[in-house]
Structure 1
Amino acid sequence: MNTLVSVPIARLANIYWLESRTELIKNLRIPAFAISSIAFPVMFYVFFGLIFNRDGMSGDMPAYMLATYSVFGVIGPALFSFGVGVSVERDQGWLALKQCSPMPISAYFVARVFSALVFGLAIALILFALGYIFGNVSMSPGQWTLTLVILLLGSLPFSAIGLWLGLSLKAQVAPAVVNLIYLPMAFLSGLWLPIQYFPEILQKAAWLMPAFHLSQLVLSVQGLSLGFNSILHILIILVTSAVFLGLAFRAFIRQSIN
């Protein structure tokens, strides 16, 4: 196991940076992760947010579609980096090796968060550019900035969900399970279609989805949310984060003992 030793802050920070940079480079060199993480949300937004809705892209719809597809985009890397990546490396023994090394094990998880945030940032900026140029999305600089900040911070709870999945699932089943969570959650949260078009029971089910609450926070920047207090959405996201962090910690302790 990792041993606690006195390490200068600068050297410790360098360890975290090197691990984070290495994790990012590794993911960039995996086409299945790098290309799909960026290409899928961009492709979906171009097809369904721009091309198929070109005739009806008026009023608030361009901004609405940009907000919800951006949420869809940033939560993907968080879920898959942890949900699939951790499960694969756990089964291969890499996680156990990290635990035995002098490196703080927290650097391993921080590096994955860093990588997911970089991918999320790239996805959001690409979608912002597409929405601004081709979707006629108009927001003030403050709104663009606040939207980006909410998207990046809001992706962190999905890292917690992914971490629990990655520590609980076998590598063979992790991709399928993550997809079975990611895609239905995106649909039921109103990321592809406004939930106002859903039957009443599905509208109520959306409140169980953390992606719905993140999308409402993003939409509130433009005044396009359903009108509920943002504090409520923030509290639900925080509770969700705490629950899944607790589950992930429990799974981590269990696999460390085993």
Structure 2
Amino acid sequence: MLNSDIYLKESLYDLLSLWRTPAFFLPAMLFPLVFYVFFGIVFNFSAAQGEYMLVSYACFGMMGPALFNYATAVASDRAQGWLTLKRISPMPLSAYVVAKFFSSLVFAACIALMLFITAALFADVQLLLWQWATLFTVLLIGTLPFALIGLLMGLCLSDKAAPAVVNLVYLPMAFLSGLWVPIQFLPDTVRYIAYGLPSYHYSQLAHAVIGTNQGHNLWLHGLYLVAFCGVLIAVIYWRYQRLSR
């Protein structure tokens, strides 16, 4: 079997396993949509607010599948011995990692499309075609740092602790980055904390597509995320080597 076939089959099987777990995908897909309906539509006082909240809640929603799919699934596979079995099998372990990222991207794409359609139909959000396409692309690519965070958690946490710890990281990180409340309305102390969070830089790149970012140099946001991913990959490699001994 060609390597590409292995990656494809593993990705499809992982996606199927998530699809058979509604406790995972229903909250992940509906939570950001419900938030947007309330704060982007029901309590929407201007078209600009609808656009701003669309980007913020899209970032918030699309971070979730990457974090949870890796953290909870990898921790569970470690506890049940599946990760060890995959490690000693002929299948490249990278196929396992790529498959989970593929599944996360599929669900993240569904979240984005649901929010886009809702915003266009009910919040009077009107973007140019290139803005919709660019925003969608930035949102998808930007989930990589959160997938790496989830992978590191999965390699470090037990299967019982992983869901709780992910929530303890995910929800405060979203709030402190200005994804629930616009960053300019938060205290100065919180803003300084936000500068060190990947979710803040992720959201600023997405907001830049529609011109609602804070005006900082986009290269700084991009370089931060690249450096953040590089550090996480190094730590993940170190942790994996420790587990392999």
Q: TM-score range by the shorter chain?
A: over 0.9
| Structure 1 partner of 2:231 | 243
Aligned-residue offset at 1:204: 1.1
**How far, CA to CA, are the matches of 1:37 and 1:90 in structure 2?**
23
Does the alignment pair 1:12 with 2:25?
no
Mind listing any 5+ residue stretches in structure 2 that lack a counterpart? none
Q: When the two structures are superposed, what TM-score results if normalisation uses the length of structure 2?
A: 0.98
| Structure 1 partner of 2:54 | 66
Does the alignment pair 1:27 with 2:18?
yes
Q: When the two structures are superposed, what TM-score results if normalisation uses the length of structure 1?
A: 0.93
- Whether contact under 8 Å (2:47, 2:125) holds in the other structure is no
**Residue type of the alignment partner of 2:10:** E
Does the alignment pair 1:82 with 2:60?
no
How many residues in Structure 1 have an aligned counterpart in Structure 2?
245
Mind listing any 5+ residue stretches in structure 1 that lack a counterpart? 1-6
| Structure 2 partner of 1:124 | 112
Aligned-residue offset at 1:188: 0.4
Aligned match for 1:180, one of 157, 163, 168: 168
Flag the 1:135–1:238 CA change in 2: closer, same or farther, 3 A: same
| Structure 1 partner of 2:122 | 134
**How far, CA to CA, are the matches of 2:58 and 2:78 in structure 1?**
30
Runs of 4+ in 1 over 6 A off after TM superposition: none
Query: In the TM superposition, what whole-angstrom CA distance separates every residue of 1:48-80 from its partner, at most 9, and x where no partner exists?
Result: 2222x13x1x14211100000000011100000
Aligned match for 2:153, one of 149, 152, 165: 165
- Mean Cα deviation higher: 174-183 or 248-257: 248-257
**Residue type of the alignment partner of 2:116:** F
- Whether contact under 8 Å (1:161, 1:245) holds in the other structure is no
Aligned-residue offset at 1:211: 0.6
Give the secondary-structure state (helix, strand or coil) at the position aligned to 2:195: helix
